[in-house]
């Protein structure tokens, strides 16, 4: 059983969080993952769409995380300059088995130094801005997701579901990932380089 913590911050992107949580939290994966949400302080956090999610833990009382997931959203543009947030990400990523990002969450990982020297990807519409946050990152413009050892990054929004299914397969087995995809009626991208939204 691994504990997966999802970071919440003001103006996070809803599907960046709840797409992966649909996969990791599905009953077919529940024997493998315990899911929690984390923010600077426990309580409600507003998404960029206005809908609020509840953070189970604040930074101070967050349990040890085996897997850390950092979503994107418009709030990343403010939070790249939040030293407390990026410091927390850096510390938690250093002790986690895997660190994941969806969309512009890669900008937060980049500013935290988690992606230095690594290959990573992000949302195509925000690609240039995210790249500017991590000059020491080997950015992949054509990728649905990138698995670079203990860090896995995905492209925009729904790509986070494909990344999550990949991680479920990696940490459990192909049958579990396939069963979850079937149960949520998701047509998977199996090839991480099959990126229909990349622009050359």
Q: What pLDDT is stored for residue 196 in this prediction?
A: 83
Q: And the tokens for 113?
A: 């130094």
pLDDT in tens, 46-65: 999 999 999 999 999 999 99
User: Two tokens at 150?
Assistant: 């203990």
How far is residue 12's CA from residue 27's CA, in Å, rounded to a whole number?
25
The token pair at 73 is 């959203």
SS3 99: strand
- Counting Cα atoms < 13 Å in the Cβ hemisphere of 23 gives 30
| Count of helices and strands (H, E) across the chain | 7, 11
pLDDT at 17 over 90: yes
**Quick check: helix, strand or coil at residue 91?**
helix
Q: For residue 138, is pLDDT > 80?
A: yes
- CA 196 to centroid of chain Cα atoms: 20
Indicate the helix (H) or strand (E) that contains 16.
helix 14-24
Enumerate domains of the chain plus CATH numbers.
2-183 (3.40.50.880)
Which two tokens mark 57? 């833990």
The label of the residue with tokens 């493998």 reads 32
Q: What is the pLDDT of residue 197?
A: 82
Residue 180 is predicted with a pLDDT of 96
Residues labelled as active-site residues: 103
Distance CA 22, CA 71 (A): 14
pLDDT of residue 200: 58
105, 129 Cβ separation under 8 angstroms: no
What is the pLDDT, as a whole number, of residue 19?
Answer: 96
The pLDDT tens digits of the residues spanning 65-111 come to 999 999 999 999 999 999 999 999 999 999 999 999 999 999 999 99
Mean pLDDT of 168-182: 96
What is the 3 state secondary structure string of 105-157? HHHHHHHCCCCCCCEECCCCCCHHHHHHHCCCCEECCCCCEEEECCEEEECCC
Q: How far apart are CA 109 and CA 40, in angstroms?
A: 16
Which of 32, 23, 68 lies closest to 159, judged by CA?
Answer: 23
| Mean pLDDT of the residues in the chain | 95
């Amino acid at each position: 059983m691994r504990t997966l913590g999802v970071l919440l911050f003001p103006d996070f992107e809803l599907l960046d969080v709840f797409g992966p949580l649909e996969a990791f939290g599905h009953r077919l994966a529940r024997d493998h993952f315990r899911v929690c949400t984390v923010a600077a302080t426990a309580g409600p956090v507003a998404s960029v769409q206005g809908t609020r999610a509840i953070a189970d833990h604040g930074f101070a009382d967050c349990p040890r995380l085996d897997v850390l997931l950092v979503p994107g959203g418009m709030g990343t543009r403010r939070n790249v300059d939040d030293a407390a947030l990026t410091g927390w990400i850096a510390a938690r990523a250093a002790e986690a088995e895997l660190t994941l990002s969806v969309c512009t969450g890669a900008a937060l990982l980049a500013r935290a130094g988690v992606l230095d020297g690594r290959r990573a990807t992000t949302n195509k519409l925000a690609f240039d801005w995210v790249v500017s946050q991590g000059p020491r990152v080997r950015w992949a413009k054509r990728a649905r997701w990138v698995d670079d050892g203990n860090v896995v990054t995905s492209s925009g929004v729904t790509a986070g579901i494909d990344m999550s299914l990949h991680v479920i397969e990696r940490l459990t087995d192909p049958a579990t990932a396939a069963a979850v995809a079937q149960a949520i009626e998701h047509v998977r991208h199996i090839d991480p380089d099959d990126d229909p939204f990349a622009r050359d």
